[in-house]
Amino acid sequence: MIGIFTGLLATASSVIFITLILSSSPVEDSWISLYDQGKFGGLLSLGAISNLIIFFLSIRKNKISFATGIVIASLMIVLLIFLIKFF
């Protein structure tokens, strides 16, 4: 359960960080603009890369249940990206 929360939190914080670094406009305006252009799913997938680092660190420390939560969170992000792209 804590792995799912950590995975979603890491993705959300990475998305906010990437938006703040790469955009000069406010975060909300940037997200609306990216959604209108059809590129918000790409931003989410860039944010989900941080889950890879957390996943491999948890595997290295032999925390399998935590790593399973990270994988579940990543699958939830993939489902969200699918819904944004096609609906």
Read off the DSSP letter of residue 1. Answer: -
Tens-digit pLDDT profile for residues 14-57: 999 999 999 999 999 999 999 999 999 999 999 999 999 999 99
C-alpha dihedral, 14 to 17 to 23 to 26, nearest 10°? 110
pLDDT value at position 87?
87
pLDDT value at position 51?
97
> Which residue is listed with tokens 């975060």?
27
SS3 24: coil
pTM: 0.92
68-72 mean pLDDT: 98
Measured distance CA(8)–CA(14) in Å, rounded: 10
* Buried/exposed code over 29-46 (b: 16+ C-beta within 10 A; e: otherwise): ebbeebeeeeebbebbee
